[in-house]
Amino acid sequence: MSAPQKMGPSEALVETLAAQGVTHVFGIVGSAFMDALDIFPAAGIRFVPVAHEQGAIHMADGYARASGRHGVCIAQNGPGVTNFVTGVAAAYWAHSPVVFITPETGSMTMGLGGFQETEQLPIFSKITRYQGHVNNPRRMAEIAARCFDRAILERGPAQLNIPRDFFYGEIEATITEPLRIGQGAGDAAALDAAAALLAAARFPVILAGGGVIVAGATAEAVALADLLGAAVCNSYLHNDSFPASHALAAGPLGYQGSKAAMKLIAQADVVLALGTRLGPFGTLPQHGLDYWPRLAKIIQIDSDPLVKPISVGIQADARAAAAALLERLNARTLAGTASRAERLARIAAEKAAWEAELTAWTQERDPYSLEVAGASKYMHPRAMLRALEQAMPPESMVSTDIGNICSVANSYLRFDKPRSMFAAMSFGNCGYAFPVICGAKVACPERPAFAYVGDGAWGISFNELLTCARERIGVTVVVFNNGQWGAEKKNHVDFYSRRYQGVNLENPSWAAVARAFGCEGVTVERPADIAPALRDAARAQSDGKTTVLEMMVTQELGDPFRRDALSKPVRYLAKYRPYS
């Protein structure tokens, strides 16, 4: 902690950012925070100007998810700040430690309905882990530091709200060191009970979630799996929670996940859910498999409140808890040892079967898909996704958007390193993937970076090509051009007798659009052209050049996400009867 010193509130803010290790702040310039912005360079902070504030908050999210450090963004009071809303909600459900700084209308005019005024705390109250409001300029450093500390501690977004006149003046401020409080391994008695269950297990399975990534618990998860001879499933959209090349890695559960993972967890007598809140969408039946083992003992280790019925709950840091379990299990005889060889053979067989099925599954076979693909000269999405998987350079980071093809991609995304996959998580907003990968690339410039985006979602987000070109951020965007909002069209096909409304897209050449922005743009029509195009695009990244690979694909569609959430339409009024 520094001794109290005379400074301006802007200096107190910027000194706090520097003390918290901030090197990048995403945003759009605005008069409200110019006094602080002016001194960013002197504090070693690069301001990354973006095209839209939603891009800034998503970039901060991607930066945080890739680096494990804070992602930070700032905007003009009023409209700049309200443009953050969707991105804050997305970061909330992705458990990203972003700090978004929201200068507010001046304290002397607040409530008078002045220019760019809106109450900025209520808007974010349900999508933040912490909200700090600077109610007096003398508290700038204290409240700013608390936002940073709480974002890490509570694993989610923190808002720092500052009336714009409070950037000015003379104060005495103390700059504090970051406060990092370990969560520890959890309750000792619960750990004993968990160890007893695992020691008695005949068919233990580990479910590795996002908490493994956040806590840096990969090594402990691998050691536990090896000791127990347990298959390891990834929780939904966390395909980077366990090394995919490990013999015990079974792949992801959930929508468009791995049948091997689902068939294996269905056999479990004990599940160790490590670093996952067991959210409701993560274990929905898939591929016709209702795989969740209701009779199994469930041990859940997570820092979040618990969702599913469980046998033993441990609120803890995944790494510390896994280490504590290892210590206990190392000292015990494991009942599962007797059947270890047979279990490993079963795991290998299920994986091989799923791999063979995926290889053969080059296109969708439902009547709609056969009809539209038969008339098309373009690529089958699955064949394209397989080719992308095979061409993906090592150490790559991939962000995925919301859409049918992005969802099907789940089966074809494998990672050996944590902090590699950045899916739009439970908030599920189209337009997430591209700005998020830009932020991830800024955090990890040496890693190849790819965004998977449907053509509809691309329409929401392509404005950030401006940022890539202007700031020389080199990423590769793989745009799936199927000429439709496919995921929603699937519902029209399945439930509304193909009465299409607002789902067909007329696209420009997205490759030409990219070139007009000063980026590279390549149209790909054949799977054989994917590997060379991806290689060139990845190479261009090191020159700070972004490439859009426009994938021309058929309109076929994979299984929908929320079959459970729709019903066949029922109409009572005569004029609407044809619509049933």
Ligand X SMILES: Cc1ncc(C[n+]2csc(CCOP(=O)(O)OP(=O)(O)O)c2C)c(N)n1
Residues that bind ligand X (CB under 6 A): 402-405, 428-431, 454-457, 480, 482, 484-488
The burial of 183, by beta-carbon neighbours within 10 Å (0-12 exposed, 13-18 middle, 19 or more buried), is given as middle
Q: For the CB of residue 508, give the shortest distance to Mg ion in the complex, in Å.
A: 14
* 454 binds Mg ion, rule: CB under 5 A: yes
- Pick out residues in 312-351 that bind Mg ion (CB under 5 A): none
Of residues 11, 455, 520, 556, which one binds Mg ion by CB under 5 A?
A: 455
Nearer to ligand X, 85 or 344 (CB): 85
Name which of Mg ion, ligand X, none residue 399 binds, using a CB cut-off of 5 to 8 Å depending on partner kind. none
Site string for Mg ion, 208-237 (x = CB under 5 A): ------------------------------
CB 115 within 8 A of CB 76: no
105, 276, 303, 482: which one contacts Mg ion (CB under 5 A)?
482
- Contact of residue 105 among ligand X, Mg ion, none (CB under 5-8 Å per partner type): none
Q: 418 or 459, CB closer to Mg ion?
A: 459
- The 3 state secondary structure assigned to 179-248 is CCCCCCCCCHHHHHHHHHHHHHCCCEEEEECHHHHHHCCHHHHHHHHHHHCCEEEECCCCCCCCCCCCCC
Which residue's CB is nearer to ligand X, number 241 or number 461? 461
Q: Are the CB atoms for 507 and 454 separated by under 8 Å?
A: no
In angstroms, the CA 18 to CA 41 distance is 11
Min. distance of Cβ 486 from ligand X in angstroms? 3
Q: Report if residue 560 touches Mg ion, rule: CB under 5 A.
A: no
Q: Residue 52 CB, nearest distance to Mg ion (Å)? A: 21
486 lines the binding site for Mg ion (CB under 5 A): yes
CB of 170 to ligand X, least distance (A): 45
Instruction: Give CA separation, 513 vs 176, 521, 576, in Å.
Output: 47, 8, 42
Residue 565 corresponds to which tokens in the numbers above? 């959430």
Compute the least distance from the CB of residue 565 to ligand X, in Å: 12
Q: How far apart are CA 58 and CA 473, in angstroms?
A: 15
DSSP 60: H
Cβ nearer to ligand X, comparing 120 with 256: 256
* Chosen from ligand X, Mg ion, none, partner binding at 457 (C-beta under 5 to 8 Å by type): ligand X
Which of 562, 261, 573, 228 shows the shortest CA–CA distance to 414? 261
User: 27 φ, ψ to 5°?
Assistant: 170, -175
| 550 is an interface residue for Mg ion by CB under 5 A | no
Beta carbon nearer to Mg ion, 116 or 484:
484
Structure tokens at 198: 């695992």
Select 476 or 482, whichever has its Cβ closest to Mg ion.
Answer: 482
What three-state secondary structure class fits 99? strand
Distance CA 119, CA 113 (A): 10
H-run or E-run covering 282? none
Beta carbons within 8 Å of 447's beta carbon, 6+ residues apart: 66, 395, 396, 397, 440, 441
Q: Report what 487 binds from ligand X, Mg ion, none; CB cut-off 5-8 Å by kind.
A: ligand X
CB of 428 to ligand X, least distance (A): 5
**Chain residue whose CB lies nearest ligand X:** 454
Is the dihedral angle over the CA atoms 511, 515, 516, 517 positive or is it negative? positive
Output 506 or 543, the one with its CB closest to ligand X: 506
Binding partner of residue 157 among Mg ion, ligand X, none, CB under 5 to 8 Å per kind? none
Q: Which does 186 bind (CB under 5 to 8 A by kind): Mg ion, ligand X, none?
A: none
Closest separation between CB of residue 520 and ligand X, Å? 21
- In the complex, least distance from residue 452 CB atom to Mg ion, rounded to whole angstroms: 12
What are the residues whose beta carbons fall under 8 Å from the beta carbon of 426, sequence distance 6 or more?
93, 279, 281
Q: How far apart are CA 546 and CA 477, in angstroms?
A: 8
Q: Provide, rounded to whole angstroms, the least separation between the CB of residue 410 and ligand X.
A: 12
Q: 273 or 460: whose CB is closer to ligand X?
A: 460
CB nearer to ligand X: give 148 or 458.
Answer: 458
CB of 453 to ligand X, least distance (A): 7
Alpha-carbon gap, residue 119 to 78, rounded angstroms: 8
Give the nearer residue to ligand X in terms of CB position, either 364 or 455.
455
Tokens (6 digits) for 97:
């430690």
Residues forming contacts to Mg ion in the complex (CB under 5 A) are 454-456, 482, 484, 486
